[in-house]
Structure 1
Amino acid sequence: MMARMLINGAAADRVHALDRGLSYGDGLFESIRFVDAVAPLWSRHMQRLGESCERLRIPAPDPVELWREALAVTRGLPQAVVRVTVTRGVGERGYALPMAPQPTRVVAAFAPPQVADSAYVHGVRMRVCDLRLAEQPLLAGMKHLNRLEQVLARAEWDDSAIAEGVLRDSHGRVISATMANLFAVVDGVLLTPALDRCGVAGVARAEVLAACPQAQVGELMLDALLGASEIFLSSGVRGILPVHSLGERSYAPGALTRQLQRHWHNLGFSMEQDG
């Protein structure tokens, strides 16, 4: 499937060479799963986008306008991922903010990723990445355009049997996977790493935390993660994925993972996310 794309509401496939999103990564994006013209986590995406635009001092797009454009690019598609990208727009050379920014808005639809049914049933294999995430509280939680850390982390392996990698910060604290948030059941308690220093606060993570008020958010070290009885990943695009193995350790999908997969299905997503 070729991408369907609108730039500032018009059909196009190119942005200005001086757009600050290209020059400096000065912008944000959301990847939103659509099923039959419905996006079950739309409100969570719009909340994160709006809050992040405010933090970066980028004028936020109108969610109603974004919805119309998302429906336009997904028309006729039973399954799609819509990427909404917002940059500060075209600007002169230099880091200083434009006096009157004119943001660039890109709304594009793509085919959903291919994920085997067996991954949802049996789980995925993971490894521990060598790359350490830099800490920057001013950017923590946002899905800003600079994903170079994730690109370099993913470049650490080319084994197609390994689906994901664990990312840690400079102090060795577990933060996330390269493309998903991470949850673990340790000593009977559901834990997910705090993201106040680095990492992306995913919308699926927010949904899991809302569905599991007993979950704890805090520090998670690698030894504790390796000793977990249950590990799963959360992604707004891929859903709830059990972890089958992490390095030499093996795990079985647990009752909580299955419960949250059912919750995901009840939101309006299919159990299989491969489109």
Structure 2
Amino acid sequence: MSEQAAWPLDDRGAAYGDGLFETILVRGGRPLLWDEHLARLARGCHVLGIPMPAEHDLAAPLAEAGPGLEVLKLTLTRGSGGRGYRPPAAPEPRLRWQLADFAPAESRWQTGVRVRHCRLRLASQPLLAGIKHLNRLENVLARAEWNDDAIAEGLLRDDAGRLVEATAMNLFWQRAGRLETPHLARCGVAGTLREALISRLDIHEVEAGDEALTNAEAVWLGNSVQGVWPVVCLDDAAGVERRRWSLGVTHRTFQAEAHALLGYPCP
């Protein structure tokens, strides 16, 4: 694993979560969905008022990439300075990176996964919706709700009961023959794989509650690092099974579209 020096104690990212991060799949030194990652980082910089680094600075760690599969984590903060929550008038951003070998959970591609609803509800904050900022306590608390390795992910809803995402992946389903994914206008992270698939497939962004999954013919979770996991079983927050799906052509067709973007095979 390659990485840069530790953060200074006065860094605003470490103190307040005042920053952004991107987690990028790298194959043989080539970053996958690079344009989508740069676009999301740029949106986040615009929202937070942090100067966007030059692309050559963001890509510099790739010079240390090996021939295999790796994950590059880029973390950008506002840097140091300011007084309390008040940010500095002229921020000097700090960029750190970490590059590590990676192996995806291939068994989950093949057999599908069991997921559960989380009790935690995501707060609504439209200003931050979509960007990958450093404030991830909601995700941490949601992931702490279970320790059973048989449960691969937890589904998150907002305070009105609308489906949003999983703790670390985006959510997709097919209902009445139509591909859908939650609309992320109030909260949630707009994943780069999600963005790439929306631009290529007829995927509708919708506001929906649990009934969407109850009536779905197929459900998937996906992100730009792990690829796409078909969902075969859904539990409620108490661990009671609510719905089960059999893997079929529909699951594999969507999975193949996503995996083609990442260089992953489709079972």
Name the TM tier (shorter chain).
Answer: over 0.9
What SS is found at the alignment partner of 1:18?
coil
- Give the letter aligned to residue 263 of structure 1: E
Deviations 1:169-206 (A, max 9, x none): 00000100000000011121111000010000000101
Corresponding residue for 2:3? 5
TM-score, normalised via structure 2 length: 0.93
Corresponding residue for 1:246? 234
What SS is found at the alignment partner of 1:258?
helix
Unaligned runs of 5+ in 1: 7-11
- Give the letter aligned to residue 217 of structure 2: S
Q: Aligned partners of 1:51, 1:255: CA distance in 2, in Å?
A: 36
Q: Aligned partners of 1:233, 1:133: CA distance in 2, in Å?
A: 18
For residues 226-237 of structure 1, what are the structure 2 equivalents within 5 Å?
Answer: 226-237=214-225
Sequence identity (%):
44
Contact 1:208 1:260 in 2 (8 A): no
Size of the aligned set, in residue pairs, is: 260
Unaligned runs of 5+ in 2: 236-240
What SS is found at the alignment partner of 2:193?
helix
Q: Segments of 4+ in structure 1 off by > 4 A?
A: none
Contact 1:141 1:196 in 2 (8 A): yes
Q: Aligned partners of 1:191, 1:265: CA distance in 2, in Å?
A: 18
TM-score, normalised via structure 1 length: 0.90
Corresponding residue for 1:222? 210
RMSD over aligned CA atoms reads 1.5
Of 61, 70, 88 in structure 2, the residue corresponding to residue 80 of structure 1 is 70
Contact 2:193 2:258 in 1 (8 A): no
Q: Aligned partners of 1:140, 1:180: CA distance in 2, in Å?
A: 15
Of 85, 97, 100 in structure 2, the residue corresponding to residue 95 of structure 1 is 85
2:163 matches 1:171 = no
Q: Aligned partners of 1:24, 1:178: CA distance in 2, in Å?
A: 21
2:109 matches 1:111 = no
For residues 22-41 of structure 1, what are the structure 2 equivalents within 5 Å?
Answer: 22-41=14-33
Contact 1:28 1:85 in 2 (8 A): yes
Aligned pair in 2 of structure 1 residues 131, 113: CA closer, same or farther (>3 Å)?
Answer: farther
1:93 deviation in Å?
A: 3.6
1:91 deviation in Å?
A: 1.5
1:67 deviation in Å?
A: 1.0
